[in-house]
Amino acid sequence: MADAKVIPFDDDRSRAGAPRWGRRRPGTGGGRRSGEKGAPTAAGEPGTAPGGAGARDAAVSPLPGRPADDAVPGAEQQDVKRGAGGGQGSAGGGVERDWERRIAGGLAFLRRRITGEYEVDEFGYDEDLTDQVLMSLLRPLYEKYFRVEVKGIENIPAEGGALVVANHSGTLPLDGLMMQVAVHDNHPVGRHLRLLAADLVFMLPVVNELARKAGHTLACAEDAERLLQRGEVVGVMPEGFKGIGKPFSDRYKLQRFGRGGFVSTALRAGAPIVPCSIVGAEEIYPMLGNAKTLARVLGIPYFPITPTFPWLGPLGMVPLPTKWTIQFGEPIPTDGFPPEAAEDPMLMFNLTDQVREQIQHTLYKLLVQRRSVFF
């Protein structure tokens, strides 16, 4: 794309560093995950070397054309990380104990699974499985493949309900999953994002089972309101199939936001709306064409034709390794409105437009900052 503009020297490393260390929140997660995190630092002191480099980048950072807030959290996280590393090092001989903890954690998990002694909530969300397995399966894709950079995670409130509204793209809903990992791994109090998914997800075998266990539920007002009233963070992509199945030429152009039902749901629950812009997902499968007849025969909303997809068979289903940025914007409060506001269509349209414009604006801003699609 022609949107590559500013190329600050040595930018990439500090960017890549931020999300990686940002994940390091002390004292959360099961035994297996904390073990996994402890491993690199416990293995030796090289942990401090990238830290030093990162800190240097951060210090040099505020370059023209880059917002300063990008650099500052990086520096902070470096400090946090060093503190954690020091603690690990002083424990001494942590490697063996670390392995034991991992095995013990794994076996405890296995024991829970085979005896069925775990909890699922009324939506079928299996927190144990999600934390231990599903997120671990997605994490390589998130960290290594798409190198997701997360900004503004503090805009998701630490408690109470919130509705995260994001743009939708990429032919396959990988953006939703990456957003879920982003919130799961980066949020300071470890909140779980509960995504609302299309009914197609719940018709497909295997997919519906995994979606329910990962905490997704059907995108309908009843479920969204129920989740918000329970104080969950709910993620929704109001563009739906119009957004995810749009041609490559329309990339980063937000489609119509449904009928704005998400706004009235948030209003009724009094939950703030957090706009979220995802850059990078548009290019993973550049959709050049849409075989509509084939889609109708298969009963799916669109059948994508990408430079690789039907031609290379399953190999064509490998997404392009683009570099992603997920930016959570300033929350829009909804608790100041009177209760009957949810029935006011004019207000609904205005709020929907406000959310939509904020996401679109942030998208353009992120695109200007982006150096290239892949780095």
Partner 1 sequence: MGKVVLVTGVARQLGGRFVRRIQRDPEVDRVIGVDAVPPAHQLGDADFVRADIRQPAIGRVLAEYGVDTVVHMDVTGTPLGAGGRTAVKETNVIGTMQLLGACQKSPTVSRLVVKSSTSVYGSAPRDPAVFMETTPPKSLPSGGFAKDACEVEGYVRGFARRRPDVAVCVLRFANILGPSADSPLAEYLSLPVLPTVFGYDPRLQFVHEDDVIEVLRIAAHEPRRSTLNSGTFNVAGDGVLTLSQCSRRLGRPTVPVLLPAVTWVGQALRTVGVTDFSPEQIRLLTHGRVVSTAQMRETLGYEPKYTTAEAFEDFARSRGPGLLPPGALAGAVDRIAAWALPLPGGGGDAKTTHSAG
- Nearest CB to partner 1, comparing residues 101 and 242: 101
Is residue 115 near partner 1 by the rule CB under 8 A? Answer: yes
Q: In this chain, which of 147, 213, 251, 356 binds partner 1, going by CB under 8 A? A: 213
Q: In this chain, which of 1, 7, 91, 103 binds partner 1, going by CB under 8 A? A: 103
Q: Which residue, among 362, 266, 366, has the nearest Cα to 323 in the 3D structure?
A: 366
Q: Which stretch binds partner 1 (CB under 8 A): 74-82, 144-152, 203-211, 319-327?
A: 203-211
Written as six digits, the tokens of 278 are: 């995802």
Map tokens 């424990």 to a residue: 91
Q: Which stretch binds partner 1 (CB under 8 A): 39-47, 167-175, 200-208, 352-360?
A: 200-208
Task: Render the burial of 218-245: b for 16+ CB within 10 Å, e for the rest.
Answer: bbeeebbbbbbeeebbbbbbbbbebbbb
Q: Contact at 8 Å (CB) between 355 and 273? A: yes
- Nearest CB to partner 1, comparing residues 39 and 295: 39
Is residue 121 near partner 1 by the rule CB under 8 A? Answer: yes
Q: In this chain, which of 117, 159, 249, 293 binds partner 1, going by CB under 8 A? A: 117
Q: Which stretch binds partner 1 (CB under 8 A): 44-52, 63-71, 204-212, 336-344?
A: 204-212
Q: Contact at 8 Å (CB) between 30 and 105? A: yes
Cα distances (angstroms) measured from residue 259 to each of 239, 246, 268, 331, 353: 10, 18, 16, 21, 11
Written as six digits, the tokens of 224 are: 């969204």
Written as six digits, the tokens of 81 are: 């990380």
Q: In this chain, which of 6, 189, 204, 297 binds partner 1, going by CB under 8 A? A: 204
Written as six digits, the tokens of 167 are: 């743009």
Assign 287 to helix, strand or coil: coil
Q: x/- binding map, residues 311-350, to partner 1, per CB under 8 A?
A: ----------------------------------------
CB of residue 108 vs partner 1: minimum separation in angstroms? 8
Q: 83-102: which residues touch partner 1 (CB under 8 A)?
A: 95-96, 99-100, 102
Q: 11-50: which residues touch partner 1 (CB under 8 A)?
A: 32
As a dihedral over the C-alpha atoms of residue 160, residue 185, residue 204, residue 301, rounded to 10 degrees, the angle is 80
- Nearest CB to partner 1, comparing residues 25 and 230: 230
Q: Which stretch binds partner 1 (CB under 8 A): 50-58, 117-125, 234-242, 288-296?
A: 117-125
The DSSP secondary structure of 46-98, one letter per residue, reads GGHHHHHHHHHHHHH---TTS-HHHHHHHHHHHHHHHHHHHHHHHH-SHHHHH
C-alpha 99 chain-centroid distance: 29
CA angle 270, 274, 275 (to 5 degrees): 135
Task: Name residues whose C-beta falls within 8 Å of residue 143's C-beta, 6 or more positions apart in sequence.
Answer: 19, 20
CB of residue 330 vs partner 1: minimum separation in angstroms? 30
Is residue 300 near partner 1 by the rule CB under 8 A? Answer: no
CB of residue 220 vs partner 1: minimum separation in angstroms? 5
Q: Which stretch binds partner 1 (CB under 8 A): 215-223, 236-244, 276-284, 295-303?
A: 215-223
Q: Which residues bind partner 1 (CB under 8 A)?
A: 32, 95-96, 99-100, 102-107, 109-111, 113-124, 126, 129, 132-134, 136-137, 199, 202-209, 212-213, 217-218, 220, 222-223, 226
